[in-house]
A and B are shown apart, each in its own frame.
Chain A
Amino acid sequence: MKSFLKIMLFCILVLIGFVGYANFGIPQVKPAPPPTEEKLDLGNMTMDQFIALGEKVFNGKGTCTLCHNNVGKRAPMLDGAGEEAVANSAPLRLKDPRYKGKATTPEEYIRESMKEPSAFVVATFGSDGDTKSPMPNVTTGSIGMSEAEVDAVIAFLQNKAGSEVTVKIPVGAPPSAEGGAAAPAAPAKTPEEVIAKFGCGACHKIGKEEGALGPDLTHIGKSRNEAYLRKGILDPDADIAKNCPGAPCSPGMMPADLGTKMTGSELEMLVQYLVKSK
């Protein structure tokens, strides 16, 4: 018993030595607290600025207007007037027997429709009897909107429709993984980056992207030459393809302003990439 106590005393003393040295022998560096998830300016943002951010995302990073425009009739209008505005039609859709989502308020409905587009597909705009939406989840993939950006877009849509803006400005959430929609996009360095930057994959099957609205571009180099492809990007309505999957192709579907948005090198990179896609 005596040796047992001696051993215990020895072990405890050793432990006290260790813990004492760790506490008093070496300086206590207090590691920096975890970063609050980059507030950027959200904390100081007024609702007007938040709505403006939403508009920017809606027209830019979100690539929403690629389809939600009144030219191609590929997707329902969202920011129109009256019933056309999604913020106004949402209450009706929530009551629609075809609705299978979980939302209970218009705000939730819009958010849901951005993340799970198939929860409700507006008649004539979907496949498989309007149960599947061609729209991607906007928080993933090349669009990759953050929660705050989704909220900003909802605020923008509600504001545009003239209904009450129910969204709260989120605190402590990053507006985006890449530093916000406000940051001007850097020129793309590879054709894949060009495709991601301009959201080609939202409509076209190209590279790893699997859009199903516009013509399949994976083997476009076989049938089209360089000049045709370049013109096709700069002036998409000049020659309308006939082989769109789903409904027939129509003028105005593809944005006509790519020529002004792309840099020269981006355009050339993309054209060369397409020519080689055989």
Chain B
Amino acid sequence: MKLPKLLQAVLVVVGVYIGFKLVFSVGLHQPIPSSLLTMYMFFVVVATLLVTTATEESAKEMSAPIKALVEDPSKKTIRNIVFVLVPLLAAWMTYSKLAPSFEAPVELRTIHPAPPSSLKAYGKSFDMMKLENPFSKFQKEDPEKFKVLVKEGGDVYYKNCHFCHGDKLDGQGQYAQGFNPLPLNFQDVGTIAQLQESYLFWRIATGGPGLPKEATPWLSAMPVWKDFLTEDEIWKVILFLYDYTGQAPRSWAAH
């Protein structure tokens, strides 16, 4: 038996929805955020409508049951039920959207906010546009020295940073779970691999309090490292971060 087109469409939409829920919540244990799922489903519904109305026949098939519902005298009972249910559903959705709840408001946090154009630290001003790691050049010029520098950076890291960012640089340090936001996972391709070294220097030197407003400086637990580390130590630890994770800073040299 062939299912009516409208029912097919509804089934497809419901199937996709359940599929998303199953795969992400049950299968991967990482549920899709509801805000995103809403948008996903919106476009799934739109696309389903587009596909089912692309040809004249299927468009007729699609609209036939709706037409029948509205016009066919024999469907009076079901019509009345639907006409009561639909406004109720809309009312319920509006109510549940507007009803106050105990949920804390969603706070939007920009993880990588735009850096300032210049940075003041160590009694001088760094031009973020031109700032470069003074040690990067040794990677090619003097690999031996570079290795030593990376090792020194590693020492700095394990003395200061690994408590939160983890000994594998994966953001899983001993204290990590105590923080919200969590310490960043440097192994993730979405973090340091997306950034230039000057950016890391800025983030390490000024820490959480140095974040701009959109990145909620009041939440971050990152210390202001320029008060504890020297300029060279910060540059060395940056070398270490990239070296350990096997990432390279964002650069346009290859371009």
Contacts of B214 in A (CB 8 A): 29-32
A184 touches B (CB below 8 Å): yes
CB distance from A13 to the nearest CB of B (A): 14
B110 touches A (CB below 8 Å): yes
Query: How many A-B Cβ pairs are below 8 Å?
Result: 23
B130 touches A (CB below 8 Å): no
CB distance from A182 to the nearest CB of B (A): 9
Establish whether residues A32 and B213, one from each chain, have CB atoms under 8 Å apart when the complex forms.
yes
Interface residues of B in 199-213 (CB under 8 A from A): 212-213
Chain B: interface residue count, which band? 10 to 19
Given A25-B39, A31-B214, A32-B213, A183:B110 Cβ within 8 A? no
Interface size on A, residues (CB 8 A): 12
Establish whether residues B39 and A179, one from each chain, have CB atoms under 8 Å apart when the complex forms.
no
Establish whether residues B123 and A184, one from each chain, have CB atoms under 8 Å apart when the complex forms.
yes
A32 to B217, CA, bound (A): 13
B124 touches A (CB below 8 Å): yes
Contacts of A129 in B (CB 8 A): none
A30 to B110, CA, bound (A): 11
A109 to B137, CA, bound (A): 50
Given A29-B108, A29-B110, A179:B125 Cβ within 8 A? yes
Task: Indicate the member of A27, A32, A35 with the most B CB atoms within 10 Å.
Answer: A32
A201 to B131, CA, bound (A): 27
B120 touches A (CB below 8 Å): yes
Given A29-B214, A32-B212, A183:B125 Cβ within 8 A? yes
A35 to B120, CA, bound (A): 15
Interface residues of A in 32-50 (CB under 8 A from B): 32, 35
Given A25-B39, A29-B214, A32-B212, A183:B123 Cβ within 8 A? yes
Least CB separation from B134: chain A residue = A189
Least CB separation from B125: chain A residue = A179
Interface residues of B in 99-133 (CB under 8 A from A): 106, 108, 110, 116, 120, 123-125
Contacts of B108 in A (CB 8 A): 27, 29
A184 to B123, CA, bound (A): 7
Q: List 14 A-B contacts (CB under 8 A).
A: A25-B39, A27-B106, A27-B108, A29-B214, A30-B214, A32-B212, A32-B213, A178-B124, A178-B125, A179-B120, A179-B123, A179-B124, A184-B123, A186-B124
